[in-house]
Structures are given as structure tokens and as C-alpha cells.
Amino acid sequence: MRKIERRAAVCLLLAFCLFAGLALYCYRFATQGSDWVTFTANRHVYAQTGELVTGQILDRDGDVLSTVEDGKRVFHEDATVRKATLHAVGDREGNIGTGALTAFSDLITGYNPVTGSYTASETGNDVTLTIDAYLNVKAYQALDGQKGAVAVYNYKTGEILCMVSTPTFDPNDPPVISADDTSMEGAYLNRVLSSTFVPGSVFKTITLSAALENLPDLFDRHWTCTGSHSVGGVTVTCPSAHGDLDINSAYSNSCNYVFASLAAELGGSTMEKYTKQAGLMDSYSVSGIKTAKGTFTLAGADKGTVGWAGVGQADDLVNPCAMLVAMGAIANGGTAAEPHLLLDDETTMTGQLFQPGTASVLADMMRANVVNKYGADRFPGMDACAKSGTAEVGGDGRPHAWFTGFLRDPEHPYAFVVMVQNGGGGSSVAGTVASAVMQAVVDKY
């Protein structure tokens, strides 16, 4: 019997396997439970059609952007609001993966590991976004049917006040989008968070920051722009001959020749260091939503390529949200709050994107751009600092129009980014949108 007694220990091994497996399951339950709950087959939170049937989404003023009526998900009663907030809120079908309905579904369902997703009346939670629907509408109207992205955020707190992406549609009446319908191309993408675009001249701000710190004689230099020059064996052109320039006028006139030469002189690896430092090559986590990473061909590239990359062309691609944070950092002494979309989120700061001294010089020069070039009267009563960009996209496409900047005002600590896809001139097209949106911001806040 003693032998069998010893051999019986093999059964304990089986019992241990069951116990260990149970422990593994409990661990997964604790760590992955919220993902499991937000599965569209989960009838506690999703209807047969796959829409979340619990929880409301509110904007920062408490306006109900989406709620559930009679077991069906519905959106704001005004069609313009619905379209302007579509990418922030999401749609019933979950096509917009970064929309709150999908990205924050675990919060909306009211899931927690103790009580599960069940609440007595199965109403779920209210999720309040940092978005102001009013500003979104203003931005949507200013875009006037063009494809593009507009975002405004508070660089001290990180709250995103305005986030619009077009083309958009009415989530109460979602269209069937065919693959060859160019007018609705990328309608499910939030261009602010998930897309990257050729930056064009707005990238010259980064080149300028590198030059400020590495070329001590920068302010003593003079250039003569004739409209076409060879940089590193590659021809760099400007839309027109800018004539005699110093660094201030070269920046406000956005002279390609000057900035291509500076970038080529600084070299690819220095340029890459500053681009990375400014956060343009990394992904931000906006309340858990990962933004798209920018891509640049700098380190190791030949001088001509680095030159073109230094003016935001070549293969450069930048994410509007990353650009927005870089603007906030320039305004805020080199570091800014990381952007977030949930009103309850705590403020976290980025690392040092720019040296404080550099940030201050950059801000002054961007202010000079507005005063000397874009027109201070377009931003009445605002200490607006900005840089425009007209990014050539190659082929027959019209250039992307960019306008990025911030208000240098402790009462209104807002940075903004406007990108109009194939919109044309940066200042004229995107600047107009920025002007309208920022006036609405200052009027309301």
C-alpha cells in the first residue's frame, strides 16, 4: 500500500494542472477582461447589429453627442454637429476605430472586473470628452467641404477642444462608401490622429530649431534667393525669387533655398535628432488611442535629399496631432501637456521637445510671421504665432495647405493645426480656417 500511496502523488500533478490553469484564467480575466467585454457579440453591451446599447457620450459642455434610445444608439439631434463630431464620437458600426464608441467602449459599458458590465438598469456610463461640439462645428464649417484636419488643444492641460476630420458623414444615416468614390476617400480615418501628410514648410520650424542651436552665426548670415539653386547636387526651387534674405525674412517668406542649404549643412543625422526630439517621429497615446508615427528620410541620406527633407518635402510625412504638440511645446517653453480626449484624464507632460531658449526664439519668429506676412488682423486681439505650409504632393495634385501655431497667452493657452488636403496655399486656405476657429475659441473661452 505504501507504494501506491507514493504513486498516487501523480494525481496531485493533475490537480495542480487544474489549479494552475484556473490561476492563469483568473490572471487573463483581470488583465484582458475589458477587451473581452468590448466584443461586438457581447449582448450585454452591444445590440445584434453590433452597436453599443449602453452609455452616453457627452462633450465638455455636457451636450449629449450620443446616447441610447429604445435600445438603439442615436447621435446628436443636429446633423451638422453629428458630422463635425463623427470622428471624435465614432459610429454605430465601429468603422471609425478611433471613435470614442470603440476606443472607450470599456468605459462606456461601465465595465469593471468586480461587477462586470452589468448595472441594474443596464444603462452603462457617461463618458465626457474634452471636445467642444460648438468648436467642432465652427471648424467643420470653415473647412467648407474640403478634405482635411483641424485640431485645437490646450497645451497647459492637454485637453483637445476641437478635433475635426473630413470627409465625414452623418452617423444616423451612414452612407455605403464604394472603393472608387474619391470624395469619401478615408472617411473612416480620423486624419488628426491616424494619418500622416507631407508637411511642407511647416517643417521649416524644426529645421530652424536645429540651425539655431548648431549655427552660432545664423543671425549674421545673408542669402540671395534667385528662385532656383543647387543644393547638394539637387535643384531646389522657390515659387519666386525672394531676393536678399536674413534668417528672419527667409523664415517668414518660407524660402526653400535657405532652409534646404541649412538642412544640408547640418546634415541628416543632426536633422533627424531634432525631428525625433520634437516628437514628430513618435506615436502619442491620446487617452489610449495611438497616433500615427511620422516618417522622415534624414540620417544617412545624401545632401540633396536632406535639403529637400529640411523644407518638409522629399519623403517627409508628419502626423497633425504630433505637429500640434510640437506647437504647444514651442509656446510653453519647450515642453507641453500630452493631448487627451477624456475630460477625467490627468495632465501629463511631454519630455523636452525644444530647448527653452530655442522655443522662445522660435515663438518670436513665428509671431513675426503673423505680423509681417499672414496679417495680425486675421487674429484680432490674439498674440498668435504661426507657420504656414504649402506642401507639394507630386503629380497633378494641388499642394496640401497647412497652418500651424499657437496663442502666446496664459489666458488662452491653445495650439492649433489646420491641414487642408490638396487645398492650395497654406496661409490663404488653411490660415483662413485657423482664423475662424481660433476666433471662435477666444470668443467662447
Partner 1 sequence: MQVLENLTGLLQAGLDALAGLLGGLPGLGEAYTTGVRYVLPVLALLILLTAIRSLLGVRHTAEIWAYLNLEDGRRIPLTHWENIVGRQSTADVVLDHPTVSRTHAALIRSDRGDWTVYDLGSKSGTAVDGAPVAESAPVALGQTLSFAGVRARLQAISPEEAATQRKLRAREDRPIPPWGLLVLMTFFQVLTCLQLIVAEGGAVPVSLPLSFLALTALMWCYCLTLRAARQVGFEMEMIAFFLSTLSLSITASSNLNAVPKQFFAILAGVVAFLVLGIFLRDLDHARAIRWLMAAGAIGLLSITLVLGSESKFGAQNWLHIGGMTLQPSELAKICYIFAGSATLDRLFRKRNLGLFIVLTFACLGCLALMSDFGTAAIFFVTFLVIGFLRSGDWATLGIICGGCGAGLMVVLSVKPYIMRRFSIWGHVWEDAANLGYQQTRTMSAAASGGLVGVGAGNGWLQAIGAADTDLVFGIICEEFGLIIAALAVLCIVTLCVFSVRATRAGRSSFYTIAACAASSMMVFQTCLNVFGAVDILPLTGVTFPFVSNGGTAMMAAWGLLAFLKATDTRQNASFAIRRKNKRKSAAQRRAEEEARCEQPVPEPIGPSEPTGEIWDDPVHIPDWDEDGDDGEWHDPVIDFPDDGEEDDHA
Q: Which residues bind partner 1 (CB under 8 A)?
A: 1-12, 14-15, 17-19, 21-22, 24-26, 28-29, 32-34, 36-37, 39, 41-45, 111-118, 120-121
Sign of CA dihedral 299, 303, 307, 308: negative
Q: Which is nearer to partner 1, 13 or 395 (CB)?
A: 13
Nearest residue (CB) to partner 1, 39 versus 445: 39
Beta carbon of residue 68, minimum distance to partner 1 (angstroms, whole number): 17
Q: Which residues pair with 72 in a beta bridge?
A: 69
Taking CA atoms, 232 is separated from 248, 254, 264, 303, in Å, by 24, 20, 7, 5
- Residue number, 67 or 119, with CB nearest to partner 1: 119
Residue 254: helix, strand or coil by DSSP? coil
| Closer residue to partner 1 in complex, CB, 18/176 | 18
**Nearest distance, CB of residue 42 and partner 1, angstroms:** 4
- CA triplet 63, 68, 73: central angle to 5 degrees? 100
For residue 194, the minimal CB distance to partner 1 (Å) is: 22
Element (H, E) at 243: strand 243-245
Q: Is the peptide bond before 167 cis (omega within 30 degrees of 0)?
A: yes
CA distance 440 to 261: 39
Q: 433 CB contacts (<8 Å, ≥6 apart)?
A: 139, 142, 143, 148, 150, 403, 418, 420
CB closer to partner 1, 42 vs 360: 42
**Shortest separation between residue 98's beta carbon and partner 1, angstroms:** 20
**Of residues 47 and 184, the one with the C-beta less far from partner 1:** 47
Write down the least CB distance from residue 105 to partner 1, Å: 12
Of the two residues 49 and 228, which places its CB atom closer to partner 1 in the complex? 49
Neighbours of 347 (CB within 10 A): 12
Minimum distance from residue 36 beta carbon to partner 1 (Å): 4
Q: Are 417 and 437 in contact (CB under 8 A)?
A: no
Name which of 31 and 235 has its Cβ closer to partner 1: 31
Report the C-alpha gap between 412 and 382 in whole angstroms: 9
Shortest Cβ distance from residue 123 to partner 1 (Å)?
11
Give the shortest CB-341-to-partner 1 separation in angstroms. 24
Residue 392: which of 247, 200, 257, 262 has the closest Cα?
200
Query: CA 311, 317, 322, 327: dihedral to nearest 10 degrees?
Result: 20
